[in-house]
Structure 1
């Protein structure tokens, strides 16, 4: 077998999981602005068209990454509260550069699975809410978490890049996250 044939054979063995894990590693080092399908293909030593065997487009790949980020949350405990579910999602998103943006874009395009939303809904149902109310609360909580984490990640990345970041009266931090969740928690007086 020729060297070229051997090289092509080894490249063809990149599984869907290989593509996702390599993409996640690349995103961890450079974030979304530095990520492209061409750069991913170079990293995997394949032609860019080979990636489309596994994914229809870049956004489909990002949706698979979003699903991996959500799947990295610890297993849901029986009786987990809405605040605990939201905190687990926040932690998973913060553990991945641009995690909130990746999940948000995937949800917006209807490409991500519903695992995060379902987990939040179950917490609402466990708190005694009827299904429709728990679904509404889960949606509001998901959007709160995504917005909050997006704010946190953007400020952190700006600071890391040496950008002057002004103080803001509504900083996205642990205290503001907990305060927001307290307003969303079932049974809270409004």
Structure 2
């Protein structure tokens, strides 16, 4: 019978192990018992650090955010480029983790390390024609699109989707049949097209008309 380790665990060890194990077993298979087995300890040892799985997920999401590379602080950058680059970066980062979007969504960060990047992004928007409230709404709208898209994308990972067979089944509904290629054919291109639509909508509905700063069609330095 294998002996369990007696050295003291810290939160970082647990989270590093949890994130590694996530890629092997997915969110459904990630339990405190499975993490404890990986660390060669008994499950109650983890409860010193995390009272339940939700507390563990909160810390995992926070660590994902800490590891993320954010765009450099350039207050002259066009707000569309700021949002687009940030959401593309968020998607690329979360794709590194199996079920990464599901882990990241609906959790509460356990420290304030997110506040600096958030302050920078909102400042860029408020200096280019957005009120503080509109900047927050625009940012959160793009974020929600990104997470929602990712949840759907990652749910399809590893599944075979025969678009030809789908089109044949929907032969009496030609537009619905053609939709399959757009929805499931190329996730990278589909994400970028959708994000472009979201960003343009943010500019059309939330940015003050005639506001100073770069807008659609304005020359960029």
TM-score bracket, normalised by the shorter chain, equals 0.7 to 0.9
Q: What TM-score comes out, normalization by structure 2 length?
A: 0.69
Identify which of 60, 65, 71 aligns with 1:76.
71
- How many residues are matched? 174
Match of 2:43 in 1: 48
- Given that 2:70 and 2:86 are in contact with CA atoms closer than 8 Å, whether structure 1 keeps it comes out as no
Cα displacement (A) at 1:38: 0.7
C-alpha deviation, 1:67, in angstroms: 1.2
Name the CA shift for 1:146/1:65 in 2 (closer, same or farther; >3 Å): same
Match of 1:183 in 2: 197
The Cα shift of 1:170 comes to: 2.0
Structure 1 residues 131, 59: closer, same or farther in 2, change over 3 A?
same
* Pair member with larger Rg: 2
Separation (CA, whole Å) in 1 of partners of 2:60 and 2:12: 10
Question: Which segment drifts farther, 78-87 or 177-186?
Answer: 177-186
Are residues 1:170 and 2:170 paired? no
Aligned alpha-carbon RMSD (Å): 2.5
TM-score by length of 1: 0.80
**Is the CA contact (8 Å cut-off) linking 2:149 and 2:191 kept in structure 1?**
yes
Aligned partners of 1:82 and 1:124 also within 8 Å: no
Between the aligned partners of 2:17 and 2:161, the Cα distance in structure 1 is: 32
Matches of 1:138 and 1:85, distance apart in 2: 10
**How many Å apart are 1:76 and its aligned residue?**
2.8
Matches of 1:126 and 1:95 in 2, distance apart? 33
Q: Which has the higher contact order (CA 8 A, sep 6+)?
A: 2
- In 2 relative to 1, CA 49–122 (structure 1 residues): closer, same or farther, beyond 3 Å? farther
- Say which is worse superposed, 68-77 or 80-89, in terms of deviation: 68-77
Contact kept in structure 2, 1:86 and 1:142, CA below 8 Å:
yes
Cα distance in structure 2, aligned partners of 1:122 and 1:39: 43
Q: 1:16 to 1:44 in 2, by over 3 A?
A: same
CA distance in 2, matches of 1:66, 1:155: 21
1:40 aligns to what SS in structure 2?
helix
From the superposition, tell whether residues 151 and 8 of structure 1 become closer, same or farther in structure 2 (CA, over 3 Å). closer
Task: Detail structure 1 runs of 4+ shifted over 6 Å in the superposition.
Answer: none
